Amino acid sequence: MRILLTGANGQVGWELVQRAAGRELIAFDRDGLDITDAQAVGHAFAASRPQLVINAAAYTAVDRAEQEPEQAFAVNRDGAAQLAAACAELAIPLLHISTDYVFDGTKYGPYHETDPPAPLGVYGCSKWEGEEAVRKVLPAHLIIRVSWVFGRHGRNFVRTIRRLAREQNELKVVADQRGCPTYAGDIADVLLTLADRIATDQSTAWGTYHYCGAPATTWYHFAKTIVELAGNREPLTVQAVSAITTAEYPASAPRPMNSVLGCRLIKNTFDIAPRPWQAGLETMLKTADV
């Protein structure tokens, strides 16, 4: 199957490129393809003639999005719409990555695909409207909502905590937000599994699914685990990881207090189960220069 990939230099896109052996993958980073440009998208599709598209391109700067809403919506909503329209014209499917931030975090317990979205900030709103744009024009889609993504490539929480642990004596980390850290490599594996399934199964259950690491945790406990595992590999300056509240951590964008995703539907439909995020973290620390 010939796959067109956008966002090839992002966390998930980079992992997809590393795992694409044996597949015909045509990968574009942001410089190679501006998904907000309809003409550029049309030219890329005409030149590559893909049989499936994976959209891993996104504006993910949650706080900066509050000051740059036009850029966030251009990529996350309008770019998704351009790709979906191009897929519809060729009658090919789209795998589109979305986020736990489409929810407001007020629910007790995990969010399921049937729960109504209510994003709090620009980033979440732009991703939700991107989902809706895909649904509007392309029935043959799989929208995969993920959460708290970390990986070997790009900026993420693990890299930040490890850098700060080398520089500071104490780290203060939010302890009242709950979510599911998810290794980018695991997301890439899921997307390729779904692509392979689509290639051989004409009765794919199109729609929206959740996939994330397990179990749920807090940023504080995630940071403590990062420091513990990283400390087994190198000397660190940090002496303590302290818990603080969301109110004590200044941020431009509001975050959901609970963004735990329930993954029962993807397990029941595709036999894809969450992988422990600790395993992904171990893999990252072994193989990445972070």
- Annotated catalytic residue 123: yes
Report the C-alpha gap between 286 and 164 in whole angstroms.
19
Helix %, strand %, coil % for the chain, to 5?
Answer: 45, 20, 40
User: 10-20: buried (b, 16+ CB within 10 Å) or exposed (e) per residue?
Assistant: bbbbbbbbeeb
Q: Which residue is it, tokens 């975050």? A: 255
Select which of 101, 111, 123, 183 is catalytic.
Answer: 123
Q: How many CA atoms lie within 13 A of 265 on its CB side?
A: 19
Q: How many CA atoms lie within 13 A of 78 on its CB side?
A: 12
Please report, for the chain, how many H helices and E strands are present, in that order. Answer: 10, 12
Positions annotated as catalytic residues are: 123
